[in-house]
Structure 1
């Protein structure tokens, strides 16, 4: 696999050594790096069609144009909804009054609501969910404002540093090292790293193992779960491009007009570019791959994935089931007649009580990337530690320590005696003070009321009820009020 690359490096090294000025330069170290890498099995070197879907979503590259594009699309949807149901205009006016009232009461409310925000608000029917969304938009606005303020401060500090650096360079003849000055190392920009990772993803199209995201579960998710699913797929894209042996990823059963694909296109604007390394298809994975080589990954399967098969195509359901807990992926696999498997979580991990075994899509992608070497112990390190027994146990210990600290702080200075003799003594003291309180002076009133409350606390704590005394207490409270 790397023989051609190693041969090229050795040829370049041999040519460089012919030059007198470059005798000591060698490229043996990169050769050793290539030689030490593990080589995975692959079936062919063909490049698949990136998009076998006729229609494409137009996503502008520029961030401002992209925001305006999505706001225009949202405004068109709102106009269509208003034409179908004219009462939505009244509802929008009510929402505007609601926002103004919340703003006057000091509740976190955004200053500007864009059409995309209104489209989200119209889908929320309860006031509580709308208030949560207002708070989210308010925090988002403040985050943008703080970022701009921080950028302005950093720019001012950089200008001051630049002036000091220039004056220092003029006064002295010594070479100055620092930011934007002389340096013995070449600066690696973010653009360079992005190009490297993009090439890493493009390699997977030629010889990477195949994995599929099934987009056929949009009907089972609410809008918030759909957005969460899109974010997890974006995280899967980031994890895949950083790995040494990335997957050749397919998106099947895609609905271009659905909310899931629209949300994913917002997070990955280059999704429909010709050089994007993922295959987007509206077809089912049964039509694209051999039915016998397909394995559906579902936690409800009875079969455990013992060993990663490089000849199999693994299917991951693009499904965030926070509310809908039915095994729809297993039912779909049985309906299509394909084999299923689940990750060997119970064999290598000890989950804590109350923690579920549901993993996010990017966690499953990270596990499957490392599982290509059949090292499950290393692959399952991507499972969140908060779900495991040791983490749960440490959390319970920390909570117990906090509770014991609170108990020590709130512990009274003197221990209260709840014995029979103490109750008898307190009862006699209570009765004597009640009889003497026909016309109590103001100095003794607070003392008597304190004793009454203490007596009631003692009686309730020991489940002792005295109807006569309680009646006197209630009547005396009425006289005082």
Structure 2
């Protein structure tokens, strides 16, 4: 009996423990199920949010897909959408190794947004890349000049401390005078002083400002005018340059003043027309569309060069202006001496025209004057053939004698 009671009490204890453990397991399962259900609910919420965001993104980028599939034109997009397209284009071109700028200046965005074709925008990207590269080079040059100035100041202080005469030369004494940019400017002004007094003038007509819609055409035009004075010291009497029809507070004057003040330039500028300054019978307008061929340099004439940065030369702007103002007009006899390539245009820059005129003025030779036409435009120079024939003829004459 005693053994049976002990066995029953053990069974009751085990049953009680089994009930407690089973209730605990059931409670833990309920908690796990509730937590898993909450996790599933949060995951479903996140997925729904991501799907909504993706749908909104797809809705927002529908215009981009339509543009990429040629269903929309660049002109039909809004300004913000065009900016987004330009940013994508720059990133894609940069990854493919094309020449694109790192930063687009704020004043260039208006020109970019108004370019409807991709090829024209790619050309503009290349132009901005070169401008940015030039700015970086100039900044590096300025940094090097600052380093040189600091080293020169240290060397000057050392020479003064040693009681020697200060100079920027490697040696502490020299019989030669150091010539800087200021002295070079004075030399150019002295060279141009005599022709200005003698009335040997050359006019650059700046009245075509409205024809240059894009800003970099004006920048190119200012570069050409400044290049006129790069090698002016090679001529003993270069013609003095007049800038006529330069509108006050215009875009061209603003481009000049952005680089340097017009008062510091080696030429005269005015808002007046050349007809109000010079005699009408002395003016000759140089135009590639003229039907009158120039034979020699007229020292009494005042030649006019059109201030146009035109690479195509399709519009006869200078010829039309000369006809309207009843001015004599002439063109260079380029076809007699030079054969241009098929893909190269016959348009010349202002500095090239000036150098051709000055070489013709000093030498009287069209052969020497047309050497300022770039070699990449020329396929053949007829003058070289003429010189070779003349040399062969001279050799033959000498042998027969």
Give me the whole-angstrom Cα distance separating, in 2, the residues matched to 1:367 and 1:285. Answer: 22
Partner residue, 2:174: 183
- Are 1:358 and 2:347 counterparts? yes
Give me the whole-angstrom Cα distance separating, in 1, the residues matched to 2:365 and 2:136. Answer: 45
1:34-433 correspondence runs (5 A): 88=79, 91-92=82-83, 95-96=86-87, 99=90, 109-142=100-133, 144-145=135-136, 179=170, 181-223=172-214, 224-240=216-232, 243-267=235-259, 269-271=260-262, 273=263, 276-347=265-336, 349-352=337-340, 354=342, 356-373=345-362, 375-377=364-366, 378-390=368-380
Q: Secondary structure at the match of 1:183?
A: coil
Q: Secondary structure at the match of 1:351?
A: strand
Displacement of 1:240: 4.2
Displacement of 1:338: 1.8
User: Could you list the per-position Cα deviations for residues 85-108 of structure 1 after superposition, in whole angstroms to 9, with x for gaps in the alignment?
Assistant: xx6466446545655666677765
Distance 1:158 1:284, change over 3 A: closer
Displacement of 1:297: 1.1
Judge conservation of contact 1:295–1:315 (CA < 8 Å) in 2. Answer: yes
Give me the whole-angstrom Cα distance separating, in 2, the residues matched to 1:278 and 1:329. Answer: 22
Q: Secondary structure at the match of 1:233?
A: helix
Distance 1:97 1:386, change over 3 A: closer
Distance 1:237 1:189, change over 3 A: closer
Distance 1:381 1:119, change over 3 A: same
Look at both structures and tell me which one has the larger radius of gyration over its CA atoms.
2
Give me the whole-angstrom Cα distance separating, in 2, the residues matched to 1:288 and 1:206. Answer: 15
Judge conservation of contact 2:94–2:100 (CA < 8 Å) in 1. Answer: yes
Judge conservation of contact 1:108–1:138 (CA < 8 Å) in 2. Answer: yes
Q: Secondary structure at the match of 1:121?
A: helix
Displacement of 1:362: 0.8
Bigger mean CA offset, 94-103 vs 368-377: 94-103
Give me the whole-angstrom Cα distance separating, in 2, the residues matched to 1:391 and 1:106. Answer: 38
Displacement of 1:363: 0.9
User: Gapped runs of 5+ residues in structure 2?
Assistant: 1-77, 159-167, 385-401
Distance 1:205 1:147, change over 3 A: closer
User: Gapped runs of 5+ residues in structure 1?
Assistant: 1-86, 168-176, 395-481
Q: Secondary structure at the match of 1:231?
A: helix
Partner residue, 2:50: none
Displacement of 1:289: 2.0
Give me the whole-angstrom Cα distance separating, in 2, the residues matched to 1:102 and 1:299. Answer: 39
Give me the whole-angstrom Cα distance separating, in 2, the residues matched to 1:158 and 1:289. Answer: 47
Judge conservation of contact 2:311–2:347 (CA < 8 Å) in 1. Answer: no
User: Could you list the per-position Cα deviations for residues 135-172 of structure 1 after superposition, in whole angstroms to 9, with x for gaps in the alignment?
Assistant: 443454455546656776898899999999x99xxxxx
Give me the whole-angstrom Cα distance separating, in 1, the residues matched to 2:211 and 2:151. Answer: 56
TM-score, normalised relative to structure 2:
0.60
Judge conservation of contact 1:240–1:247 (CA < 8 Å) in 2. Answer: no
TM-score, normalised relative to structure 1:
0.51
Judge conservation of contact 1:208–1:246 (CA < 8 Å) in 2. Answer: no
Give me the whole-angstrom Cα distance separating, in 2, the residues matched to 1:362 and 1:146. Answer: 24
Give me the whole-angstrom Cα distance separating, in 1, the residues matched to 2:92 and 2:223. Answer: 33
Judge conservation of contact 1:240–1:365 (CA < 8 Å) in 2. Answer: no
Give me the whole-angstrom Cα distance separating, in 1, the residues matched to 2:332 and 2:106. Answer: 42
Judge conservation of contact 1:252–1:282 (CA < 8 Å) in 2. Answer: yes
Q: Which has the higher contact order (CA 8 A, sep 6+)?
A: 1
Distance 1:255 1:123, change over 3 A: farther
